[in-house]
Structure 1
Amino acid sequence: MLSETIPIREGEELDEQKIIPFIKEHIKELPKDAPVSIKQFSAGRSNLTYLIKIGEWEAVLRRPPNGPVAPKAHDMEREYTILKEVYQFFPAAPTPYLLADESIIGRPFFLMERKKGIVLDEKLPDYITETKQLGKQISEKMVDTLVQLHSIDYTKTKLVTMTKPEGFLERQVHGWIKRFEMAKTEEVAQFEKLKRWLVSNIPQSPEPTIIHYDYKLNNIMFNDDLNEIVGVFDWEMTTVGDPLADLGVVCGYIIEKDDSELLKQPDEQRPLTAMPGFMTRREFIENYAKKSGRDVRHMNFYLTFAYLKLAGILQQIYYRYKKGQTKDERFKYLNVYAKNLIQYAIELTSEKF
C-alpha cells in the first residue's frame, strides 16, 4: 500500500560496509558521520529494491535477484540508461543518480530518486473510502499517463540506438514462448496449441513508441488524494516497440469482479481493479483508443499474448523458488497461476474484441 519497507529478507542483505563508502565517494554533498539506515521494499517479485537513508538524504537502490538470471534480464545498466533518457520527458519516472558495476557487492546496482506517495497493491489506505468515482478516477489516470508515455518522441532520446522497433512483436512472441519453455518445471496442458495460435496470428504493428511493458497498479505511485500519478517504477522491460503490446500488458493485470477463477491468484483476495468504478479491460482499451487515436481492432491478440508473457514472468520467478535461489514464500504457488493463465489465454483465442 504505502510504499512500505520491511526488515531485509534472509539471503537478500546488502553489504553496508561496501555500499555506503561507494555512495559517499560519488555523491559529495552527503554528511560524513550521519546515521545510516537500509531497509527493503516489500513489493516486487523480481528485482530487489531498498531504501537507503544517510541522515536526511534518501535514495532507492535497485539490484538483480540472487541466483542465475535469464539472458538479458535484470540489466541494471540498461534500465539506468533508459531512466536517464525518459525522466527528462516524463516527470513520473524517478531521476537516476548513480550506477555501479558488480565489483562493489557482486551484483550491479543503481541508485535513483525516492519518490513519496501511495503505491496501491492489495488495498486502499485506511483513510480513503472506496467509491465508484474513485475507481473511475484511478483507472482514468492510468490511461492518461500511458497515453502520455506513448506520445514521447523517442527519436529525441538515446533509445534510438538502444532499441530495434522493426520486427518487435514477432521477436516478442517467439522470445516469450522460448522463455516459458526454458522455465517450465512441469508439462503445461494446451501450451503447444497456444504457441501455434500466437505465431500464426501476429498483427501488423502501429508506429512504434516508448513502451513501459510492465505498467500496473503496484508499479505506479499516486499522490495522497489518488488524483495524480507522481511515480512510475520498474523500467526494466522498457523499450521502443508496439504501444498496443503495452496496452495489452496493463489490461492483462486488470481483474474484473466476475472474471474467471483462472485469472485470480491462488492466495489473492479481491484485487483493487475489481473495485466499483474501475474500468473493465474493454473500457480501458476503448478509453485508450479514444485518447491516443490508435486502432485497437486486434486487441484480442495483444491480450492473449499478454497472458502468455505474464505466465512466463511468473514461471521464471517460480523456477528460481523451486531451485532454492529465493526463500520468498510469496512465490510458492506461482506455477499454478502460470498454468491457469495459459488455460485462460487458450479460451481467449476463440473470442473477438
Structure 2
Amino acid sequence: MTNAPVPTTPAKPVVQDVDPGFEVGHLDRFLKQALLDLQGNMQLERIGGGQSNPTFFVSYDNRSVVLRKQPRGANLLPSAHAIDREYRIINALAKSAVPVPKTLLYCEDTSIIGTPFYLMERLNGRVFPKYALSELPKEERRAIYLAMAETMAQLHQVDWASVGLAGFGRPGEYFSRQISRWTRQWQMSRTSDNEDINRLIDWLPKHIPEGDETSINHGDFRLGNLMFHPTEPRVIAVLDWELSTLGHPLADVAYSCLAWHMRPNEFDGIRGLNLVELGIPTLDDYLDHYLAHSGRRQGIAIFHLVFSMFRFAVILEGIAARARAGIASSDNAAEVGAQSIAFARRAVELIQRQSK
C-alpha cells in the first residue's frame, strides 16, 4: 500500500497593517516575477511612524527589501506624495557622494497594490527619531549631529545638472515660489483659521533676503530621516526624498535647525534642555560645522527659520486634514497635525523678538 500525497494549501503572505485595497497576493506574484530569486513565503510589515509615503519591509526566506508607496485616497494635495520623483532623485544621487539606498524597481501599475510604488535595498543601520538621543552615550551624541551637518553639506555640493536632475525643479526664486505654493496648500488643507499663519503669509514675501542660489534641496532634512552605521556615528543613507526639489540650500539648513527652537513636547525639540550635559552641540556649533564643510559663508537669517516653521506648520495641517478624511498614513496623524499651531506660533514669536 502506498501513501498518497496529502494536498496542501499554499501558505498565504504574512501581513501587518496594510490599507484596504492593498492586494498582497498580487504583490507577492509580481515580485517573484520581477526579482526572480525570491524564495519562500512573503512577510509584509509596515515600518516607521512617518506621515508621508507608507513604507514596508518585504521579507522572504532569502531576501528582504523596502517598499514605499503613495498613501491611499483621492484627496491628496497637488504635488504631494510624488513617489516617482522620490525614486528619480535616489537613482540620480547614487552617482554622488551622498549616501542613499540602492533602488531596485519602480512600478506605476496601480492594479498591484492600488498605488504606484518602488523598491529599494534594506540597509542595516540605526535611525534616531528623537533629537535628545537618550539611547546613546553622551560622547557619541555630538558626533551624530556633526555627521548630520556634514551629510547636508555633501548634498548641497552635488552638481545637480551633472547627475541628471536638470529638470527636477526650477532654478532661482525658490523662496518666492515656495511661499506661494505653501500658501495655496494652506488654503486647500486648513481645518480651521489661524491668525498666526495669516500673519506669516503677509510677512514672508516682504522679507525675502537678497542673494539667490540653487542646489538639491531635500525638503525634510532632519535627524529622523538619516540612517547611521550600526556602530559608528556615520550616515549610511539619507531617506524620505518625497519633498525634494531644486531649491535654496539655506532652506534645508534652517529646517534642520528647528529642533533647537522647539521644546520636547513640540515635535521632540531640544529647546530648554541642557545641551552641554547631554553632549549635544549648540546651534552655533552645528551651523559652523555645516559652513566649514560646505564652503559657504552665508548662514541662516530669521527669515529662513520663519519660512521653515511656516512651511512645516502647513505640512502638519495637511496631515490633520488627511486624518479627518480618514486617509492619514500614520495612526497619530491627528495628534501630529495639531502641532501645526505650535510651529506657527513660534515663527511669529521669532518675528516679534526681532522687531523689539
Query: Which one is further off, 42-51 or 7-16?
Result: 7-16
SS at match of 1:79: helix
Q: TM-score, normalised by structure 1?
A: 0.87
Q: Distance in 2 between matches of 1:350 and 1:339?
A: 17
Residue 226 of structure 2 contacts residue 238 of structure 2 at CA under 8 Å; is this kept in 1? yes
Q: Distance in 2 between matches of 1:72 and 1:120?
A: 28
Determine which structure has more spread, i.e. the larger CA radius of gyration.
Answer: 2
Q: Distance in 2 between matches of 1:269 and 1:169?
A: 25
2:29 is equivalent to residue 21 of structure 1? yes
Query: Which position in structure 2 is the counterpart of 1:3?
Result: none
How big is each residue's C-alpha offset from its partner over 1:137-193, in whole Å with a ceiling of 9 and x where there is no partner?
A: 111000111101111111212211222112222101111122122211111122222
Residue 63 of structure 1 contacts residue 107 of structure 1 at CA under 8 Å; is this kept in 2? yes
Q: TM-score, normalised by structure 2?
A: 0.86
Q: Distance in 2 between matches of 1:269 and 1:94?
A: 27
Residues 81 and 335 of structure 1, relative CA distance in 2, 3 Å threshold: closer
- Equivalent pairs counted in the alignment come to 338
Q: Distance in 2 between matches of 1:71 and 1:306?
A: 20
Q: Which amino acid aligns with 2:284?
A: R
Query: Which one is further off, 223-232 or 193-202?
Result: 223-232
Q: Distance in 2 between matches of 1:151 and 1:161?
A: 18
Residues 350 and 124 of structure 1, relative CA distance in 2, 3 Å threshold: closer
For residue 296 of structure 1, report the CA deviation from its aligned partner. 3.1
SS at match of 1:178: helix
SS at match of 1:207: coil
For residue 12 of structure 1, report the CA deviation from its aligned partner. 5.9
2:197 is equivalent to residue 195 of structure 1? no
For residue 224 of structure 1, report the CA deviation from its aligned partner. 2.1
Alignment counterpart, residue 248 of structure 1, candidates 246, 251, 254? 254
Q: Which amino acid aligns with 1:16?
A: V
Q: Which amino acid aligns with 1:346?
A: V
2:74 is equivalent to residue 61 of structure 1? no
Residue 79 of structure 1 contacts residue 235 of structure 1 at CA under 8 Å; is this kept in 2? yes
Residues 123 and 143 of structure 1, relative CA distance in 2, 3 Å threshold: closer
Stretches of structure 2 lacking an aligned partner (at least 5 in a row): 1-13
Residue 49 of structure 2 contacts residue 330 of structure 2 at CA under 8 Å; is this kept in 1? no
How big is each residue's C-alpha offset from its partner over 1:282-338, in whole Å with a ceiling of 9 and x where there is no partner?
A: 332232223223233552111111001111111101101012223844122234310
Residue 317 of structure 1 contacts residue 331 of structure 1 at CA under 8 Å; is this kept in 2? yes
Alignment of structure 1 residues 211-230 onto 2, 5 Å: 211-230=217-236
For residue 249 of structure 1, report the CA deviation from its aligned partner. 1.2
For residue 13 of structure 1, report the CA deviation from its aligned partner. 7.2
Residues 339 and 160 of structure 1, relative CA distance in 2, 3 Å threshold: same
Q: Distance in 1 between matches of 2:216 and 2:237?
A: 17
Residues 245 and 328 of structure 1, relative CA distance in 2, 3 Å threshold: closer
For residue 86 of structure 1, report the CA deviation from its aligned partner. 0.9
Query: Which position in structure 2 is the counterpart of 1:300?
Result: 302
Q: Which amino acid aligns with 2:83?
A: M
How big is each residue's C-alpha offset from its partner over 1:33-74, in whole Å with a ceiling of 9 and x where there is no partner?
A: 522111110331111000011222111000111222111111
Q: Distance in 2 between matches of 1:293 and 1:352?
A: 28
Q: Distance in 2 between matches of 1:12 and 1:134?
A: 42
Query: Which position in structure 2 is the counterpart of 1:339?
Result: 341
Q: Distance in 1 between matches of 2:232 and 2:351?
A: 35
SS at match of 1:196: helix
Q: Distance in 1 between matches of 2:329 and 2:69?
A: 17
Residues 298 and 50 of structure 1, relative CA distance in 2, 3 Å threshold: closer
2:243 is equivalent to residue 237 of structure 1? yes
Residue 103 of structure 2 contacts residue 121 of structure 2 at CA under 8 Å; is this kept in 1? yes
Q: Distance in 2 between matches of 1:75 and 1:227?
A: 31
For residue 95 of structure 1, report the CA deviation from its aligned partner. 1.1
Stretches of structure 1 lacking an aligned partner (at least 5 in a row): 1-5
Q: Distance in 2 between matches of 1:219 and 1:42?
A: 11
Alignment counterpart, residue 178 of structure 1, candidates 180, 184, 194? 184
SS at match of 1:191: helix
SS at match of 1:310: helix
Q: Distance in 1 between matches of 2:18 and 2:242?
A: 24
Query: Which position in structure 1 is the counterpart of 2:4?
Result: none
Q: Which amino acid aligns with 1:192?
A: N
Alignment counterpart, residue 155 of structure 2, candidates 149, 154, 163? 149
SS at match of 1:320: helix
Residue 172 of structure 2 contacts residue 212 of structure 2 at CA under 8 Å; is this kept in 1? no
Q: Which amino acid aligns with 1:120?
A: F
Query: Which position in structure 2 is the counterpart of 1:107?
Result: 115
RMSD: 2.8
Residues 327 and 42 of structure 1, relative CA distance in 2, 3 Å threshold: closer
Residue 76 of structure 1 contacts residue 109 of structure 1 at CA under 8 Å; is this kept in 2? yes
Residues 317 and 197 of structure 1, relative CA distance in 2, 3 Å threshold: same
SS at match of 2:339: helix
Q: Distance in 2 between matches of 1:156 and 1:7?
A: 41
Q: Distance in 1 between matches of 2:46 and 2:170?
A: 35
Query: Which one is further off, 319-328 or 54-63?
Result: 319-328
Q: Distance in 1 between matches of 2:328 and 2:202?
A: 33
Residues 295 and 178 of structure 1, relative CA distance in 2, 3 Å threshold: farther
